[in-house]
Structure 1
């Protein structure tokens, strides 16, 4: 009897886990260079923000990249 409930629980948990998983959009990254800094990586996070070397900037990726380029950095590749 206990075995039956255990197996049902396992099946239900497995089904719930499968349906709760979503395909995460790919995180894209570029390497940026600036005369004032060494090369660093800027990524577009799943929420659309820029992440620099693993730290979320709480700034939209496109806005962040535009700001870097305005200040003389070059970003691309990666």
Structure 2
């Protein structure tokens, strides 16, 4: 799990920190010791999106995974 989070964190850290708003979706800012702050948005299909890219994972599950790996979101 930590390895997966580290890969996501590196990709996110290297990407432009932005989130394209989707219809009816909301965004939250997350941070971890390994990355700059980044936004995770809920797409209209219920999936999480990082930098506008659909992760293919439900928003709540994605946020829970980030928090379990040590990130803070929405604070």
Question: 4+ runs of 1 displaced by more than 6 Å?
Answer: none
Q: Greater share of helix residues, 1 or 2?
A: 1
Match of 2:53 in 1: 55
The alignment yields a C-alpha RMSD, in angstroms, of 1.5
**Does 1:40 find its partner at 2:44?**
no
Are residues 76 and 57 of structure 1, via their aligned partners in 2, closer, same or farther at CA, if it must alter by over 3 Å? same
The structure having more radius of gyration, on CA atoms, is 1
Task: Calculate the TM-score normalised by the size of structure 2.
Answer: 0.67
SS at match of 2:61: helix
SS class of match (1:26): coil
Could you tell me the TM-score, scaled by structure 1's length? 0.65
Distance 1:41 1:25 in 2: 16
Point out which structure has higher relative CO (alpha carbons under 8 A, 6+ apart): 2
Matches within 5 A, 1:4-23: none
Gaps of at least 5 residues in structure 2 are 1-21
